[in-house]
C-alpha cells in the first residue's frame, strides 16, 4: 500500500475515500468524485505529499467542475 507524507512529516496509507469525501464536500457529483479519486490513486506514489495530492485534485476539478474547484480551493486554504 502506498503511503503519503502529510505536512507535519508523518506518513499514512493513501485512502481514495478521503479524496472522494472532500471532493463531494466541495459540491462535485459522486461520479466526478470517484473519477478523480481513481485517477489520483492510479498516479499516487510512495512518499507523495498531501500538497501534491491537493494540486492534482484541484487540477482535475478545474477540468470537470469549475464551481466545485472554487469551493475546494477555498476549503483547502482554510486548512492551511
What residue numbers bound the domain in which 21 lies?
A: 3-79
Alpha-carbon gap, residue 1 to 69, rounded angstroms: 28
Q: Taking Cα atoms as reference points, which of 1, 32, 3 lies closest to residue 19?
A: 32
Number of domains in the chain: 1
Q: What is the pTM of this model?
A: 0.89
Q: What is the pLDDT of residues 5-23, one digit of tens each?
A: 999 999 999 999 999 999 9
What pLDDT digit, counting tens, does each position of 60-80 carry?
Answer: 999 999 999 999 988 766 565
Amino acid at each position: 500500500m502506498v503511503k503519503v507524507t502529510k505536512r507535519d512529516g508523518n506518513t499514512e496509507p493513501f485512502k481514495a475515500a478521503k479524496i472522494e469525501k472532500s471532493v463531494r464536500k466541495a459540491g462535485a457529483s459522486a461520479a466526478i468524485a470517484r473519477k478523480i479519486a481513481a485517477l489520483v490513486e492510479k498516479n499516487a506514489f510512495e512518499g507523495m505529499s498531501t500538497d501534491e495530492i491537493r494540486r492534482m485534485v484541484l487540477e482535475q476539478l478545474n477540468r470537470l467542475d469549475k464551481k466545485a474547484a472554487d469551493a475546494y480551493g477555498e476549503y483547502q486554504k482554510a486548512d492551511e
